[in-house]
Structure 1
Amino acid sequence: MDAGKLKMMGRGINLVGRVSPRLAGRLAFTLFTRTRKPEPQTDKERALFAESAPRMAEARRETVGVEGRQVSVHVFPPIGPGNGRRVMFTHGWGSRIALTQGLVTGLREAGFAVYAVDLPGHGDSPGRALHAGIAIATLATVFQRFGPFDAMIGHSFGGYMTVLAAHGALDGKPLSPPRIVLIASPADVRRVLRYFSKGLGLRDHVSSALTAELERATGRPVEASFGPGYLAASGAPTLVLHAAEDKEVGADAARAYAEAGPNVTLTWLDGLGHRRIVNSPEAIDAITKFLG
């Protein structure tokens, strides 16, 4: 959605907020959690989607039930000799596993079996809304059904949810994977909310009402979703990949993760932006070396 439309919607929500801040918060929350149509939206995405079809056909498709939704899990076998290890991968907001076949194929060629999740409202998983509570429940269900895994890997929103799910941030049930890989991932939902509110031009009291709606939906205060805090407490070996010029998730998120402790390795992959990084040879090489 372009900036002009967002500003227009924001003005409407602000008008509602003059009468009922809570209703305005609900409207903003609906917009905040709304997923886009799952079909590829641009010529580049359509080309990537078509190119990935043969690889996607090599996967076994499984489904798991999550809060009344049927979530798709694509199970890819290794290409060539396997190393006996399995990893779980989660894509970013607005993406799908079919658009991440560069990374998936690279992991498979390194001998890994890859369990790749299409989040609700994305790819082959139905739905039009997603928030942290639903995402974490999804990752936990997949982990319990198919795990344990040797590592959990996530890009962008998927990486952020990987950290929270791995450490039981919302449900108190840590998955505790041996290793974690975060690619261009946010670190703090409070920054995400501020960025979203600024984009819509929301007034402060409406932005606060939005935060309250998210807390009601997840059952936890937003402070509980500070990713680096969990890495610091757990000591889990973690690789963070980020491009300094990333315009969608600022480099401050990567630095916050790196400051969690010596268990976190930060590798800058500058020049790859927010989306190209996930399928880049540089990311694949860094991840396969980190996983050993």
Structure 2
Amino acid sequence: MSKNKEIQDQTLKIPKVILITAKLFVAISPKLATKFTAKLFTTPIKHKIPKREFHMDKESVQEIVFVPSINKEIVVYHYGKSEKKILLVHGWSGRGTQLVKIADELLNLGYSTISFDAPAHGKSKGNSSIMIEFIASILELEKQFGPFEFAIGHSLGGMSILNAIREKLKIRKVVIIGSGDIIQDIIDDFIKKLELNPEIGIKLREHFEKKYGVEMNYYSASNAAKEVLIPVLIIHDENDVDVNVKVAYNIKENLNISELMITKNLGHRKILGNTEVIKRIVEFIKE
């Protein structure tokens, strides 16, 4: 299998039955189509834990934590016993053990990690979630188990950490890997994958803004980045088909103190286990 084919295969495929249903709703009623796409957009896919994560799952102390601000429970993983703690945040359709290779190296450095299954992800209950709930979970974990020295986030997890810092999460440095950025771009990409008219994407954003009472652009990573004063290491693959590499440059432009690492042929997920990536994270933490 070629590198490009391998990277393409990492992206999430939408089943044909969903594509047909979405188009049917559009034909019947734009309002129904908006509700249907909103449900799809906020429903993560739960994947089985792969073998490479088994030991972290087994060796972690796990507990259920209630997050009052969203009235939901999350499963939290305590990995390692050091008082020096690092927060790990997975991306959409991820889980608390997904950054296992990074976590293992952090334990070797003398840290412990705290991670979690966001609402409706991994072992956490529920069927739907949204970034607002990721942010709320991060802030609750800081309250209960902090302070954290550093935070590392993948994809939506990276966006969530930047937003949490704006909402007073206290850490010394942050690493974001394959982070998304502009909310409308994320919605538009989702609508494109559903093979629907771009107008549905605008209606979807308006639906969320009405529901949550805030402009969705407020949560864009580059917007939150303007208020992040600590050093940030941005890692992104130039062949990431889920999140275009241009996003990394845009986030960097809006940060106060930042470094950028661009990788090749790792895509959106394999980047998490890459030796050079983990080595750079370790160097950044040690600096």
| Shorter-normalised TM range | 0.7 to 0.9
Q: 2:230–2:256: 8 Å Cα contact kept in structure 1?
A: no
Q: Is the 8 A contact 1:64 1:73 kept in 2?
A: yes
2:75 alignment partner AA: S
Measured after TM superposition, the shift of residue 255 of structure 1 is 0.8
TM, length-normalised to structure 2: 0.88
Distance 1:206-1:39 versus aligned 2 partners, 3 A rule: closer
Tell whether 2:101 aligns with 1:98.
no
Q: 2:73 is paired with a residue of what secondary structure?
A: strand
- Whole-angstrom distance in 1 between the partners of 2:266 and 2:199: 37
Name the aligned partner's letter for residue 55 of structure 2: P
1:28 pairs, out of 29, 32, 37, with: 37
* Contact 1:133–1:217, Cα closer than 8 Å, also in 2: no
Q: What is the match of residue 52 of structure 1?
A: 53
- Residue 171 of structure 1 is matched in structure 2 by none
Q: Secondary structure at the match of 2:284?
A: helix
Residues in 2 aligned to 1:5 and 1:161: alpha-carbon distance in whole angstroms: 31
Match of 1:8 in 2: 20
Residue by residue over 1:13-54, the C-alpha shift from the partner in whole angstroms, topping out at 9 and shown as x without a partner, is 31233xxx4443222111111112x342xxxxx6xx234323
Aligned: 1:63 with 2:57: no
Contact 2:80 2:113 survives alignment (8 Å): yes
Give, in whole Å, the separation in 1 of the partners of 2:21 and 2:183: 22
Q: Which runs of 5+ in 2 are unaligned?
A: 1-12
Counterpart among 256, 261, 265 of residue 267 in structure 1 = 261
Tell me the C-alpha RMSD between the 2 structures: 1.9
Seen in structure 2, the aligned counterparts of structure 1 residues 54 and 201 have a Cα distance that, compared at 3 Å, is closer
**Match of 1:236?**
230
Residue 226 of structure 1: how far off its partner (Å): 2.1
Cα distance in 1 for residues equivalent to 2:212 and 2:105: 35
3-state SS of the aligned residue for 2:23?
helix
One-letter amino acid matched to 2:273: N
Cα deviations across residues 45-88 of structure 1 (Å, max 9, x unaligned)?
x6xx234323322211122112332201101116xxx5x52110
1:60, 1:74 within 8 Å by CA — same for their partners in 2?
A: yes
Residue 136 of structure 1 pairs with residue 139 of structure 2: no
Q: Give 1:288's aligned residue.
A: 282
Partner of 1:110: 109
The one-letter code matched in structure 2 to 1:2 is I
Match runs of 1:143-292 below 5 Å: 143-168=142-167, 174-292=168-286
Instruction: State the one-letter code of the partner of 1:71.
Output: I
Equivalent residue for 1:89?
Answer: 88
Cα distance, 1:248–1:198 mapped onto 2, change above 3 Å: same
CA 16–161 in structure 1, closer or farther in 2 if over 3 Å, else same: farther
Aligned-partner SS, 1:248: coil
Alignment check: 8 A CA contact 2:14 2:194 kept: no
Q: Which position in structure 1 is the counterpart of 2:118? A: 119
Letter of the 2:144 partner, please give it: R
Contact kept in structure 1, 2:90 and 2:153, CA below 8 Å: yes
What's 1:75 paired with? Answer: 78
Task: State the match for 2:5 in structure 1.
Answer: none
CA shift at 1:130, angstroms?
0.9
Tell me the CA shift for residue 201 of structure 1.
Answer: 2.7
**Structure 2: distance between partners of 1:113 and 1:140:** 18
CA distance in 1, matches of 2:229, 2:97: 32
Instruction: Indicate the SS of the match to 1:35.
Output: coil
What amino acid maps onto 1:15 in structure 2? A
Most deviating of 55-64 and 190-199: 55-64
CA distance in 1, matches of 2:139, 2:210: 20
Q: For structure 1, list consecutive stretches of 5 or more residues without a partner in the other structure.
A: 41-45, 169-173
| Contact map agreement 2:228 2:256 (CA 8 A) in 1 | no
What's the TM-score, normalizing by structure 1? 0.86
Conservation of the 8 A alpha-carbon contact between 2:166 and 2:227:
no
Task: Percent identity, please.
Answer: 24
Q: Against the structure 1 CA distance between its residues 2 and 26, is the aligned structure 2 distance closer, same or farther, given a 3 Å change threshold?
A: closer
CA distance in 1, matches of 2:200, 2:182: 20
